[in-house]
Amino acid sequence: MLKEKIKSDYIAAMKSKSEAEISILKMAIAAILNKEKEKQYNAAKAGEGQKTELTDEEIVDAISSEIKKLRDSVRLFEQGKRDDLAAKSQNEIAILSRYLPAQLGEEAVKELVAAAVKKTGASSTKEMSKVMAELMPEIKGKADGSMVSRLVKEALNH
C-alpha cells in the first residue's frame, strides 16, 4: 500500500539524514493523516463509526493536492525573486511525484480530450463541465489539472 511505502521511505530518509526528504515526507504523512481523520469524522457523522483508512487513490489525491500547493509556491517565489525557495519547492515536488502514477504527456492528454469531446458532443466552453466529468476519472492523478483544463478549453474553442 502507498501509505506504507511513504512511511518506509520516511524511515530510510531519517536513517540517511536526508533533511529535504524528511521534511517533505513528514508533511505528506501529516496530510494523509489529516485526510484519514476527515474521512473518519465524516463516517462517524453518517453513523458508520468505523476506523477508516485511505485508499491508494485517496492518498494520490492528497499528494496531488500538496504538489499543487507547492507549484503555487514556486510561482510566487519566482515572482518574488526567491530562486532559492523556488528550487527547494521544486525539489519537494520531485520527491512527492515519486508516489504518483506515471504522468501523461500533453499529447496523450490531447488525445483523451479529443475523445471525451467527441463522446460528449460538447461544442462550446459552456459544456466544459461535461467534458471534464467524462475525462477526470480516466486521468485523475495522472495529469496536472490545470493543463487538462487548458487543453479542454482549447479543444472547445476550435
Same domain, 116 and 79: no
Give the chain's domain count. Answer: 2
Digit-coded pLDDT (tens) for 89-146? 999 999 999 998 888 888 888 899 888 888 888 888 888 888 888 888 888 778 877 8
Distance CA 17, CA 82 (A): 26
* 120, 52: one domain: no
Domain boundary among 54, 75, 97: 97
State whether 140 and 63 are in the same domain: no
> Which residue in 7, 40, 44, 43 sits closest to 26, CA to CA?
7
- What is the distance in angstroms between the CA of the first residue and the CA of the last residue of the chain? 43
Contact 95, 5 (CB under 8 A): no
CATH code of the domain in which 142 resides: 1.10.10.410
CB 69 within 8 A of CB 96: no
Domain that holds residue 153: 106-157
pLDDT in tens, 42-61: 888 877 766 678 888 889 88
Q: What is the pTM of this model?
A: 0.75
Cα–Cα dist 61/113, whole Å: 21
